[in-house]
Chains A and B, each alone.
Chain A
Amino acid sequence: GAGVSQSPRYKVAKRGQDVALRCDPISGHVSLFWYQQALGQGPEFLTYFQNEAQLDKSGLPSDRFFAERPEGSVSTLKIQRTQQEDSAVYLCASSLDLAGGSGANVLTFGAGSRLTVL
């Protein structure tokens, strides 16, 4: 597609529920990133995929967070047994990841999925 698409845009969950957030990156983009943006804060890195390989998951806050990108395109961020502190906007970004890192590796962000845990 023309941009990075995220769904749902808004999700309200009761504490303890599992949620799944979807990201459709720009077609052909190799790299995909998930960020968490708490209210009034800048985005914080969660995890990074290159095609289907999850190369960095150092930012995932707990083992309740899980991300996958099985076919190297669409990605899903799953949060199990949600807690109130999980309330945030979850941003997905993708980049073409041209060889050599020439400066064309500009991240394109989606509009985000706003999760509210009651």
Chain B
Amino acid sequence: AQSVTQLGSHVSVSEGALVLLRCNYSSSVPPYLFWYVQYPNQGLQLLLKYTTGATLVKGINGFEAEFKKSETSFHLTKPSAHMSDAAEYFCAVSSSPNYGQNFVFGPGTRLSVLP
């Protein structure tokens, strides 16, 4: 069975500061890993994904994440936070190339950006 842990249900950073949102997973097979962002009253939008190949993955809006197999982690970072980054962030893991059928989402981390 797969599972996802996101450390910190709420993270606050100052505008311009580093954003670090943590994600750890468990999977018995090589995982496909994803970060999604959810703005209020909207659906989930894909930020980035890891499937195979390069372990440092760059996504939209300046976000990136690094797959570390030895640490079973896929932490999300952004060098400089912007007010528009305030949202809920979900990490997800899947074992299947069909992805959605086997998606397991973490509980989410709410990011607040302070002026």
Collect the chain B residues with CB atoms within 8 Å of residue A45's CB.
100-104
| Chain A interface SS verdict (over half) | loop
- For B, the interface residue count at a CB cutoff of 8 angstroms equals 27
Any chain B CB within 8 A of the CB of A65?
A: no
Report the bound CA distance from A93 to B100 in whole Å: 8
- In chain A between 31 and 57, which residues have their CB closer than 8 angstroms to a CB of chain B? 31, 33, 40-45, 48, 55-56
Collect the chain A residues with CB atoms within 8 Å of residue B107's CB.
40-42
Map CB proximity to A onto B1-41 as digits: 1 under 8 Å, 0 otherwise: 00010000100000000000000000000000000100001
CB distance A107 to B108 under 8 Å? no
Collect the chain B residues with CB atoms within 8 Å of residue A40's CB.
9, 107-108
Of A41, A103, A107, A112, the contact of B103 (CB 8 Å cutoff)? A107
- In chain B between 88 and 103, which residues have their CB closer than 8 angstroms to a CB of chain A? 90, 92, 96-103
A41-B107, A42-B90, A45-B103 given as contacts; is B43 within 8 A of A105 (CB)?
no
Collect the chain A residues with CB atoms within 8 Å of residue B74's CB.
none
CB distance B45 to A111 under 8 Å? no
Any chain B CB within 8 A of the CB of A60?
A: no
Collect the chain A residues with CB atoms within 8 Å of residue B46's CB.
106-108
Hey, which bits of chain B sit against chain A, CB under 8 A?
Answer: 4, 9, 36, 41-46, 49, 51-52, 90, 92, 96-108
Hey, which bits of chain A sit against chain B, CB under 8 A?
Answer: 4, 9, 31, 33, 40-45, 48, 55-56, 91, 93, 95, 97, 100-103, 105-112
